[in-house]
Amino acid sequence: MTVRPRRSVLYMPGANTRALEKAKVLPADALILDLEDSVAPEAKAEARENVCEAVHGGGYGRRELVIRVNAIETAWGMDDLRAAASVEPDAILVPKVSSPGDIVTVAKVLDAINAPSRVRVWAMMETPSSILNAREIAALGADPETRLSCLVMGTNDLLKESRARALHDRVAVVPWLAMAIVAARAYGLDILDGVYNDFRDDVGFRDECEHGRTLGMDGKTLIHPSQVGPCNEIFSPTVEEVSWARKVIAAFEEPANRQKGVITLEGRMVERLHLVMARRTVAIADAIEAMRRTEEEWF
């Protein structure tokens, strides 16, 4: 089983060259180099150049590099897409997705300009229509030709569009997150939680990471370097979870249990579905450990 940990995914404005440089040593699993909403209209062209130069220049080690382009129907969209594809990032993040057509259009442009198939597409789930169409959008994940591999919650835009209140218990947001999570899971996609704006509030941020993980998110999008460490910690399997998972795997490997669908382990019922979960937990823990070792060699 190969899994790609996407615990911490840090946005940075493409106009901020200091941030683009700093990100090379931050322990984030992925970076989103933004050309869209964090870049003012006058700075769009320069940001595009900065971001393409950064991706082309490399030096980001094991971090996945994702470029968020402007929507294709904007004045910058097509130029962004062409420029981004030419430097072959790991993925292109499409903003303001409303329907599957928005992803299909981007995939067609990428094919037309011969972007290699390893350049994937991620989709921002941030319009009311994206939630209503979550199933149809996520279903594109079943067809590798569409390149769709990850959904990214845009909770700030969803709050704005829905006129809901941004309270700390996320009472308005939870149904949208839950809809998108089941859609992602139904079609084998990863999904990332939205950002926590109050980046000086460590306690509130940790609570929201826990909340996202409890809901089933693979990781969280971030806005500030200080959020990376706590986010990695909370979205990593705990020592107890990994140790239990290894016990479950070992128990089903015992000759007496090989043919069994259900067993008792330390007084608990354990079924084969728990074995599947255990294998995933161990695969993620191993991948995190492998990344840590690569990082050590890198520096």
Residues 135 to 194 in contact with Mg ion, rule: CB under 5 A? 154, 157
Chain positions 219 to 278 lying near ligand COA, rule: CB under 6 A, are 223-225
Q: Which residues contact 27 (CB under 8 A, 6 or more apart)?
A: 8, 228, 229, 232, 295
Q: Kindly state the number of chain residues that form the binding site for ligand COA, as judged by CB under 6 A.
A: 15
Q: DSSP assignment, residue 39?
A: S
- 13 forms beta bridges with 34
Out of 18, 163, 165, 258, name the contact with ligand COA by CB under 6 A: 18
What is the contact mask toward ligand COA in residues 183 to 202, using x (rule: CB under 6 A)? ------------x-------
Crossing angle for the helix pair 239-253 and 272-298, nearest 10 degrees?
130
For 151, list phi and psi in degrees, rounded to 5. -105, 140
Task: Quote the CA–CA distance of 212 and 51 in Å, as a whole number.
Answer: 29
What are 241's two structure tokens? 């979870």
**Which partner, Mg ion, ligand COA, none, binds residue 218 by CB below 5 to 8 Å per kind?**
none
Site string for ligand COA, 146-185 (x = CB under 6 A): ----------------------------------------
Taking Cα atoms as reference points, which of 63, 143, 140 lies closest to residue 101? 140
Q: Could you tell me whether strands 148-153 and 120-125 are parallel, antiparallel, or unpaired per DSSP bridges?
A: parallel
Residue 224 binds: one of Mg ion, ligand COA, none (C-beta under 5 to 8 A by kind): ligand COA
Least distance CB 34 / Mg ion (angstroms): 9
Query: Where do contacts with ligand COA occur on this chain (CB under 6 A)?
Result: 10-13, 18-19, 22-23, 34, 37-38, 195, 223-225
